[in-house]
């Protein structure tokens, strides 16, 4: 039995492994790279048989959604629209899939992890498959060749103006690798991170009797700071509990390494 469990664990590790992750754009020359919108959804990896989150947890999609997927590996984002992160996570991470809700979910594919070719060839192969096997659930993310860095920033401005969170830029000739890669970067107007709530402060004035702000500690830098904006009235009335991990955005860091102008984005849910 123990031998079986070890073999099963090894199979899962080989089948899914560690996925490719983005680094932050710093000041790289992006000429000749490609760019696309960054979709704020749930990362999903299809190995030809199973749909998993980036952490290897099973995503319980409806049968008709699974049947539409090919017999080759895909990597992408489960997404339904701008500003719908809470709907996406509540739908995708449910143990019992809601068929009606899943009708709004699309698999926005940006890579074919096991395909031996550059990104253009990968997307051509996927689009060829979709031409012969049309599906309302799968979409190959369009990749735009970057003329220069100004071209990328103009595209970023357009995406953000339409409600998007940012863009992804990548070297189309780079191989799919495990872990964080310098060949695929996220480019945003704002930076983001995650923090743990350590205290809840009451509000004053119109917020009397509600949450005014949260005392947080960034889970990466361990720096303590306060978040007082970005909350809906509903969240201020029923704030997340102490110990909850939340995602926030900020402009940059102060000289004391504290986030400047931190704004609440959402409660982080497990994948």
Catalytic residues: 38
At 13, which helix (H) or strand (E)? Answer: helix 2-16
Strand partners, 147: none
Give the position of tokens 């401005």: 157
Distance CA 45, CA 115 (A): 14
Among the listed residues 82, 90, 31, 81, the one whose alpha carbon sits nearest the alpha carbon of residue 60: 90
Token pair for 137: 């659930």
Residue 245, burial from CB neighbour count under 10 angstroms (0-12, 13-18, 19+): middle
Distance CA 55, CA 82 (A): 24
């Amino acid at each position: 039995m123990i031998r079986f469990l070890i073999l099963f664990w090894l199979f899962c590790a080989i089948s899914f492994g560690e996925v490719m992750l983005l680094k932050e754009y710093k000041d790289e020359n992006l000429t000749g790279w490609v760019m696309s919108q960054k979709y704020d959804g749930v990362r999903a990896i299809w190995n030809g048989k199973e749909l998993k989150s980036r952490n290897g947890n099973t995503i319980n999609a409806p049968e008709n959604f699974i049947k539409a997927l090919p017999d080759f590996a895909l990597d992408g984002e489960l997404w339904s629209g701008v500003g719908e992160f809470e709907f996406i996570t509540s739908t995708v991470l449910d143990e019992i899939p809601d068929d009606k809700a899943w009708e709004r979910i699309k698999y926005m594919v940006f890579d074919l992890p096991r395909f031996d070719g550059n990104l253009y060839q990968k997307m051509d192969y996927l689009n060829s498959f979709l031409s012969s096997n049309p599906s309302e659930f799968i979409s190959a993310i369009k990749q735009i060749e970057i003329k220069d860095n100004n071209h990328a920033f103009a595209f970023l401005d357009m995406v953000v103006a339409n409600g998007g969170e940012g863009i992804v830029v990548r070297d189309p000739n780079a191989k799919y690798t495990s872990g964080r890669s310098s060949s695929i970067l996220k480019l945003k107007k704002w930076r983001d991170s995650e923090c743990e709530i350590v205290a809840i402060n009451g509000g004053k004035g119109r917020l009397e009797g509600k949450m005014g702000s949260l005392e947080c500690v960034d889970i990466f830098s361990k720096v303590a700071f306060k978040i007082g904006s970005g909350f809906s009235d509903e969240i201020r009335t029923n704030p997340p509990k102490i110990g909850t991990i939340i995602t926030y955005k900020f402009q940059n860091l102060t000289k004391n390494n504290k986030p400047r102008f931190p704004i609440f984005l959402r409660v982080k849910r497990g994948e």
